[in-house]
Amino acid sequence: MEKIKKITALFLSLALLLALLPSTAWATEAEELPEETAVTEDAAEETDEAQETAPESSVSVETEDDAASQTEEADEETLAESIYSALFGTATIAETSSGSCGENLTWELDDSGTLTISGTGAMEEWEYYSESGSPWYDCSSDIKSVVIEEGVTNISSGAFEDCYNLISVTIANSVTSIGEQAFLYCESLTSITIGNSVTSIGGYAFCCCTSLSSVTIPASVTSIGEGAFDSCDFLEMVYYGGTQSDWSAISIGSYNDYLTQAIIYFADGTTGGGKVCGDNLTWSLDDDGTLTISGTGAMWDFSYDSVEDYYDEETDETYYTLETDIPWYGRYFTSVVIEDG
């Protein structure tokens, strides 16, 4: 965004400069060409003698034309700066890489792409998923790692959305909540460890983190919002700090199948979750679009219901959402194989 502003300002400055220059300026060189004069041999001899008698160290003498040219260049530069300042203000000339993000919090983005949040207290809430969001939104593509230091108490909604190149996140144990869409579309993030004091993970917090393969969730978490891990296609492992009964007590919103169907490793060494569809049945979906049911025994009975989503006054139509616990609902597949057993 800053680069676009600079380029725009440059073109505007040039356009205004061209408009301000008198039309005769372009013909100056042609008009001021001196007439041809005859140089006599005597004049040439006088010139040679003057050069012979001149001292070896030459002194640069500024002519009136040179002075006028420098003055004109200075005026043009001053005019360009004035125009830029009037359009965008002097503060936008240099890209911002640090600032405030809460009453007692600051942020800084270094040359290596590490964004550090420091201080104490809560992070400010912004209008997320827009260019008026977090103060580092304009340089989100430059962020490769995020370090939230001890003392910060929350991660605000949409704080790190669209950080496509983010690969590492460090969350201090002082953080107690992660806001909605906090890490939405962080497509390069492969794993994350959530701080031990976090109690709530907001809706769609890690939605569309398409490279995320593992997540560590502390036993302190009591709620995981709707779609918090939606579209995390490669999420395979969840490391949970509590027991299986603790996990069952968590309020997990809908559209979190990628989370609940991952292999869950509990603190006591047991495992759970996984792609199960019966007491002794599992299911898998390969890259070719084949859904396979394996194991022995009966498949569970699944439920589904159409729930009113919203009413469109313009079209006079009511839209519904299907709520179901069918584990492969919403996945794309072209064939089904039910094996013996």
Give the tens place of pLDDT for each residue, 83-110.
544 544 443 323 568 999 999 999 999 9
pLDDT value of residue 118: 97
CA 282 to CA 235: how far, in whole Å?
17
More confident call, 15 vs 85: 15
Q: What distance in Å separates the CA atoms of residue 166 and residue 216, rounded to the nearest whole number?
A: 18
Residue 92 per-residue DSSP state = G
Residue 287 is predicted with a pLDDT of: 73
Q: Which residue is it, tokens 């640090």?
A: 98
Q: Order across the sheet with 263-265: list the strands.
A: 191-193, 214-217, 237-240, 263-265, 271-273
Task: Compute the distance between CA of residue 182 and CA of residue 159 in angstroms, rounded to an integer.
Answer: 5
For residue 256, what pLDDT is reported?
93
Both tokens of 153, joined, read 């108490």
Q: How confident is the model at residue 292 (pLDDT cuts 50, 70, 90)?
A: confident
Residue 163's φ and ψ, nearest 5 degrees, are -85, 75
* 307, burial (CB in 10 Å: exposed 0-12, middle 13-18, buried 19+): exposed
Share of the chain above pLDDT 70, in %: 67
- 34-38, 269-273, 295-299, 317-321: range with lowest mean pLDDT: 34-38
* Average pLDDT of the chain, as a whole number: 78
Largest Cα span, the chain? 120
User: Between these two residues, 283 and 204, which has the higher pLDDT value?
Assistant: 204
The pairing of beta strand 276-278 with beta strand 271-273: unpaired
Grade residue 299 by pLDDT with cuts at 50, 70 and 90: confident
Backbone angles phi and psi of 91, in degrees to 5: -70, -20
Give Rg (Cα) of the chain: 34
Minimum mean pLDDT among 65-79, 106-120, 230-244, 264-278: which range?
65-79
The three-class DSSP label of residue 37 is: coil
Place of tokens 């005859």: 38
Residue-wise pLDDT for 175-185, tens only, equals: 999 999 999 99
DSSP for 206-275, written as a single string: TTT-TT--EEEE-TT--EE-TTTTTT-TT--EEEESS-HHHHHTSEE-SS-HHHHTSEEE-TTS-EEESS
pLDDT, greater one: 69 or 216? 216
Please report, to the nearest 10 degrees, the dihedral formed by the alpha carbons of residues 285, 291, 295, 301 taken in order. Answer: 110
Confidence of residue 127 (pLDDT cuts 50, 70, 90): confident
Closest by CA to 164, choosing from 182, 189, 146, is 189
- 301 phi-psi bin (left φ>0, alpha ψ -120 to 50, beta other): beta
Range name among 41-45, 136-140, 208-212, 336-340 with the lowest pLDDT average: 41-45
Token output for 266: 């509990």
170: left (phi over 0), alpha (psi -120 to 50) or beta: beta
Helices (H), the chain: 2-20, 28-31, 41-53, 64-88, 244-248, 257-260
Residue 40, classified by CB atoms within 10 Å of its CB into exposed (0-12), middle (13-18) or buried (19+), is exposed
Q: Quick check: 59 pLDDT over 50? A: no
